Amino acid sequence: MTNSLFRNIAVCSVATLSCIASFAQDPPPATSASRSSSIVDAESAKAKSLLPVAPPHGEQTFDRYEERIVDPLTDPNGLTFKLGGLPTGGGFSLGPRYVRRDWLKEHLTSDTYVVGSTKKWYRGASALNFVGLMNNHLEFNANGAYENAASMPYYGEGPDSSKSNRSDFRREFTTAHFGGQVHFLDKRLSAGYAAGGLLVNVGPGDLGGWPSTDQIFNEANTPGLEKQSNFITGTASMVANLSTQGFSNPKGLVVEADDTQFWDQSGNNASFHRLQTQATYYVPFMNGMRTLAFRARNETTFHDPTQQVPFYLQPTLGGPDDLRGYERYRFYGNGASVLSGEYRWSVAESLELAVFGDGGNVYDRPGLIGLRDLRGDGGFGVRFKNKQQTIMRFDVGVSPEGVKVWFVFNSVFGRPFRSY
């Protein structure tokens, strides 16, 4: 209030003085013998009532909120809060977060958070990272997490699962990993390995309106439903970023692959490994204001004939990141392939529109996917961006199963979220 009053007084004073001093258009007061003396008089008058320089009231308010809200989100160090952090379908999530990035001259960072969502999904995670070692060529990570996905949808296995068989189950994953990564060529090429463990608990879902999965399916058609395993895991990963910086989108190819070996420790014959590969290719044209973007993703599981893949670790399709005309987790299978294409056009630096098409499906064994089983969709997207980065997007996907509207805070062709 006081600031506002001072500001109003200052503005009025300055307006008055400026009128005196606006040399050409406005006559000076008659007391001034010359233009110069009228200006000198105005300067003298202002000199007697100087005020400390201060930002406008709105900016001062913003400064305070930026310090409390924006900085902790964008540049966290210390106790703050976290938005998001759950797998897709978890709903709006929020929780406390403690981040340190200033240990060992910023070579040791830690990030611990607990988030809960409106759908009663929870995740608590803690990570310790040694970064920037050997001239930014090496890093080590240790992390652990507990995740309670209280209402995972399940429609049955395979491409022909029926939408009417929607059920839901609770999936609890407790994980711990230790790993390292090496980086080359300014982090354009990275490779790493992480070893750890995964404890699993599956139970009835928490979402009303849908039957629990165990009421519709059984262990015979849904491996792992009754007998859950605990695993030792080992994940090898590689990323090759061959793209260059662009205006709305990058230009070129990004290839990612990771392979996770699951060693069943519970005697349930559930040892397998899951290989995921993804290639994303961007073709900007018209000075980068239009882009054709393609993404091919394949996830395949491999196991001995005596082993099987539990349903809660099977690849899935459906949702805002792959088959956008279908429900989240609509298809489960031992493998999944999806090909997406987008035509994007920039409307402004902050806004990009897109039309897209997705095609793909799940399969039981590699090679079993065919055109007959292909599930496809098309749609329209609105992306709010800061240069190449998508801040949030609004995608509408249309498929034979209906129209799906997605409002999410990620890039459509980004790396998939991994809970294990």
Partner 1 sequence: MVRLQQRVWKTFSLVLAGLACHTMAATAQRILPDDPITKVPETESAQKAAVQTINAIYDFVYHSAKYKTPPPTPSLGINTLGDVPDSSWFSNRPQLSVADLKKGPRVHGTPQPPFTVVAAKTEGVTPGFRIQDGRGLSYFIKVDPKSNPEMATAADVMGSLFLYAAGYNVSENYILLAHREDFRLSEKATITALSGKKHPMNHAQLDRILDSVPTEAGDRIRLMASLSMEGRIIGPFRYESVRSDDPNDLIPHQQRRDLRGLEVLFAWLNHTDAKGGNSLDSVVGKGADARVVHHLLDFGDSFGSDSDIAKDPRHGQEDWLPTSGEQGKRALTFGLVPAKWEGVKYPHELPAVGNFTAAAFDPLAWKPNYPNPAFLAMTPQDGYWGAKRVMSFSDEDIRAIAEEGQFSKPAATNYATKVLIERRNLIGRAWFSRVAPLEDFAISDARLHYTDLGTKYDLLPAGSYNFSWFSFDNQSGHETPASGSSDVLPSDLASSGVGSFIGCTLINREETHKRVTVIFRRDVNGWQPVEIERTAM
Encoded tokens for 205: 């879902």
* Nearest to partner 1 of 40, 403 (CB atom): 40
Segment near partner 1 (CB under 8 A); pick from 29-37, 86-94, 138-146, 395-403: 29-37
Contact criterion met (CB below 8 Å) for 225 and 204: no
Kind and range of the H or E run holding 43: helix 35-47
Q: Does 184 bind partner 1 (CB under 8 A)?
A: no
Name the minimum Å distance from CB 379 to partner 1: 14
Q: State how far the Cα of 63 lies from the Cα of 239, in Å rounded to an integer.
A: 39
- Per-residue binding letters, 269-308, with partner 1 (x by CB under 8 A): -----------------xxxxx------------------
Among 1, 5, 30, 220, binds partner 1 (CB under 8 A): 30
Binding to partner 1, residues 363-402 (CB under 8 A): none
- Amino acid occupying residue 152: M
* Nearest to partner 1 of 250, 310 (CB atom): 250
Among 1, 5, 31, 162, binds partner 1 (CB under 8 A): 31
**What single string gives the DSSP state of each residue in 276-325?**
EEEEEEEEEETTTTEEEEEEEEEEEEE--TT----GGGS-EE-STTS-TT
Binding to partner 1, residues 127-156 (CB under 8 A): 135-136
Q: Dihedrals φ, ψ of 44, to 5°?
A: -65, -40
Binding to partner 1, residues 216-235 (CB under 8 A): none
Among 8, 45, 69, 405, binds partner 1 (CB under 8 A): 45
Is residue 26 packed enough to be buried (19+ CB in 10 Å), middle (13-18) or exposed (0-12)? Answer: exposed
Among 1, 5, 47, 220, binds partner 1 (CB under 8 A): 47
From residue 240, give the alpha-carbon distance in Å to each of 129, 138, 180, 182, 417: 22, 16, 17, 12, 18
Binding to partner 1, residues 64-123 (CB under 8 A): 66, 70, 75, 77, 101-102, 105-106
Q: What is the total residue count of the chain?
A: 420
Encoded tokens for 357: 């098409």
Size of the site for partner 1 (CB under 8 A): 73
Binding to partner 1, residues 235-254 (CB under 8 A): 244-245, 247
Among 346, 361, 390, 399, binds partner 1 (CB under 8 A): 346
